[in-house]
Structure 1
Amino acid sequence: MITFTDQLAGELASIEEAGLTKRERLLTSPQSPHITTAQGPALSFCANNYLGLANNPEIIQAAHEGLDEMGFGAASVRFICGTHEAHTRFEEEIAEFVGKEAAILFPSCFDANGALFEVLLTADDAVISDSLNHASIIDGVRLSKAQRFRYENRDMVGLEKALQEASSARRKLIITDGVFSMDGYYAPLEEICDLAEKYGAAVAVDDSHATGFVGPKGAGTHARAGVQDRVDILTGTLGKALGGASGGYVAGPKEVIDLLRQRGRPYLFSNAVAPALVAGARVALRLAKEGDDLRETLEKNASHFRERMSDAGFDLLPGSHPIIAVMFPGEDGARLAGQIADDMLKLGVYVTAFSFPVVPRGQARIRVQLSAAHTEADIDACVDAFIASRDRVLGESNAE
């Protein structure tokens, strides 16, 4: 008889045979541009450490002080065992930073997106979602009973058609990533807001890959697009530019936040974000607000990498975001991307390859993420490793 675990072993074998097994690489150092792996020292170009704050001494010190003052963990959810002042102060600071009336903290942005739709939407309502939205949005939408409509990535004709089809819904909510994490593309928020106003819809944006470093003072994609007052709801994370630890939030009208406090299941049934992490994140938020120099360096770093890689003949998706997709299209692209990423680690550069089903079939890539903490020499070393590994892998393939 085939057992339950035999069946699972068969699924795992199929994943391995397809070359899609995800393997974790052991780090033996803090996250920063210069890390140490089990294979030795390396330059990291695959972290969401956009402002270089993941190992910032001020943030670490604040977290240490938070541990001393508030202990290791909250040990329950906030409405049961109480909440720390650090949580409520930080919610006020996040709301002010992104220009919204109120905010609520979650253990992660995955949980924030998991709470949002079920609370706000019923079977009488409609949610309209971009086809390349993050998995947390997809899962959150599935939890709601709302009518579901999907439009192709950044396709405003498709969005308008979906809004027309949803015209009979009581509430209509458009949800989009502010930045699409596998491509580095920005959502066309001004056009989205125009259509939302035309058809009486609300707009929600997941700004995880923007908060702290995109737009004026790093306030986000809505600030970059000049639609701060036209985007109704924002979700975001503390796990990327804002220190890189954990935690997420929803920011928006007070009524939305109050209802999430009453009915948001990930808020009501998950431990609060550890107080020490909130203490560190508060400092990270301050550094981000003051970090015009960091944002300027990040922009220069992304531009320098794009220029050098283009000159070397690599296929890059266009854009200006520090997420830069180095493309390896076609049937053999997934194998090439994986081999090149593995070879680059041997040269001391840590990047990660992505292929189907994480990205569309035939659109494999190595996603590079720049940080303000990278130096020009770091970037040049990364590009040199790309060139050397590409030439070696392609040379071996041609020899076969």
Structure 2
Amino acid sequence: MSSAISTPPAARVVADPLAWLTDDAAVRAAAGLHRELLVRQADSQDLNLASNDYLGLSGHPDVIAGAQRAVADFGAGATASRLVVGTTAAHLDFENEIADFLGWPAALCFSSGYLANVGAITALVGRGDLIVSDTGTHASLIDGCRLSRAHVVVVGRGDVEGVAQALRTNPFRRALVVTDSVYSIDGEPAPVAELYATASGAGAALLVDEAHALGVRGPGGRGLVAELGLSGAPGLIVTTVMSKSLGAQGGVVLASQLVRDHLIDRARPFIFDTGLNPAAVGAAHAALGILRANPDLPQRLRVNAARLAARCGGDEPAAAVVSLIIGDPHRAVAIAAGCRAEGVLVGCFRPPSVPQGTSRLRLTARADLDEQTIDHVAAVVNHVRAQVMSS
């Protein structure tokens, strides 16, 4: 028996199948569409008008305490999917509380608002069905439509007649109309009442994403659907998030008990994903309690948004968002960077988040800002914008 050690054959040289990424990155950079992560330090003193923390509750002592209690009671993670052992008493308590607050028979928590939208859409429609969406819907709604395998018709943003025509001219077994209630890019409201009437008249259901309306619009911040008197209406499903006005993390579907039961059985992002961590549930529950006890917070937020828009030369806002169109993505990035250097964080939205030629700054007001702070932010934004646009 030979004791010689065999030498492996020389490694075969092959072209890197991912080498195309270098060219793709260069194209994105040339178009002003390269993105970098902006790291927020724990001791940062920057004024943050880039987040969606509309009510300023993410750092509220009661919200932090709610997260800490939940961790102490249930641990750091849900430990499993909610169908195994990932549903805690905290999940059910929050679901009951938010359903009651928003005027719905039932609620179901997902690990994110993205998953709530994908889960609801894909569980409610499939092959042979019809979805009518519009060009203003959030990416999570768009992906839910794609993953559903239903036939999707896209109409213009807020185009009620386009929705009606799509429902009239496309055969379907079941049909679902999907929309944001408040569009995320510019904070404008969708014609939800008209869409509901149109969908109902054609035998279709309507799914409304209230992510940017909870805590912002409606009585006591209950959202645009509540403002229109449609909470709990038949054939209507509402999704919202715990990650904006409630300052935590997670998504929620609000609907009938029948829909909730169906989602538990059929929504893949609910069935196969680890349950939302207890800390997020506890924080969101505490934030909801603050909103209940302070129904003036949404009005305070909208007043601040109006002042910010007036100082920055933006349109009168219908929600919390002030959108300042710059046009060129390179300039939008430069203005955002210049504001950051002055200690003011603002959002910078470029394609594909917005249409070509409409790159913009997106400023989000908060209920906890005072007039002096808003005026300072506006002064920084106006100064930097003027410098960049004149260069």
- Short-chain TM bin: over 0.9
- RMSD between aligned residues: 1.6
Query: Quick one: distance in 2 between partners of 1:200 and 1:381?
Result: 51
For the structure 1 residues 191 and 158, does the alpha-carbon distance in structure 2 shift closer, same or farther, using more than 3 Å as the test? same
Q: Deviation string for 1:224-281 (max 9, x for gaps)?
A: 22322446101111111012x2111111011111111011111111111111221121
Whether the aligned pair in 2 keeps the contact of 1:174 and 1:201 (CA below 8 Å) is yes
| Greater Cα shift, 341-350 or 77-86 | 77-86
Q: Note if 1:220 corresponds to 2:223.
A: yes
Partner of 1:178: 181
Partner of 1:261: 264
Structure 1 unmatched ranges of 5 or more: 30-34, 311-315
Superposed, which structure 2 residues align to 1:310-325 within 5 Å? 310=313, 316-325=314-323
Superposed, which structure 2 residues align to 1:344-383 within 5 Å? 344-383=339-378
Normalising by structure 2, report the TM-score.
0.92
Picking from 102, 114, 121, the partner of 2:118 is 114
Partner of 1:250: 253
Q: Note if 1:12 corresponds to 2:16.
A: no
Partner of 2:243: 239
Q: Note if 1:133 corresponds to 2:143.
A: no
User: Where in structure 1 do 4 or more consecutive aligned residues deviate above 4 Å?
Assistant: none
SS at match of 1:22: coil
Normalising by structure 1, report the TM-score.
0.90
Query: Quick one: distance in 1 between partners of 2:307 and 2:94?
Result: 35
SS at match of 1:296: helix
Partner of 1:308: 311
Query: Quick one: distance in 2 between partners of 1:181 and 1:290?
Result: 26
| Greater Cα shift, 226-235 or 117-126 | 226-235
Partner of 2:63: 59
Q: Note if 1:28 corresponds to 2:34.
A: no
For the structure 1 residues 343 and 171, does the alpha-carbon distance in structure 2 shift closer, same or farther, using more than 3 Å as the test? same
Percent of pairs with identical residues: 34
Partner of 2:102: 98
Partner of 2:127: 123
Partner of 1:391: 386
| Greater Cα shift, 6-15 or 222-231 | 222-231
Query: Quick one: distance in 1 between partners of 2:50 and 2:335?
Result: 14
Query: Quick one: distance in 2 between partners of 1:65 and 1:391?
Result: 48
Q: Alignment length, in residue pairs?
A: 377
Shift of the alpha carbon at 1:25?
1.4
Partner of 1:32: none
Partner of 1:313: none
Query: Quick one: distance in 1 between partners of 2:230 and 2:72?
Result: 41
Partner of 2:290: 287
Whether the aligned pair in 1 keeps the contact of 2:62 and 2:286 (CA below 8 Å) is yes
Structure 2 unmatched ranges of 5 or more: 1-13
SS at match of 2:296: helix
Whether the aligned pair in 2 keeps the contact of 1:212 and 1:289 (CA below 8 Å) is no
Larger radius of gyration: 2
Shift of the alpha carbon at 1:290?
2.2
Shift of the alpha carbon at 1:144?
1.0
Query: Quick one: distance in 2 between partners of 1:75 and 1:225?
Result: 39
Query: Quick one: distance in 1 between partners of 2:17 and 2:86?
Result: 42
SS at match of 1:86: helix
Query: Quick one: distance in 2 between partners of 1:223 and 1:4?
Result: 52
The one-letter code matched in structure 2 to 1:5 is: L
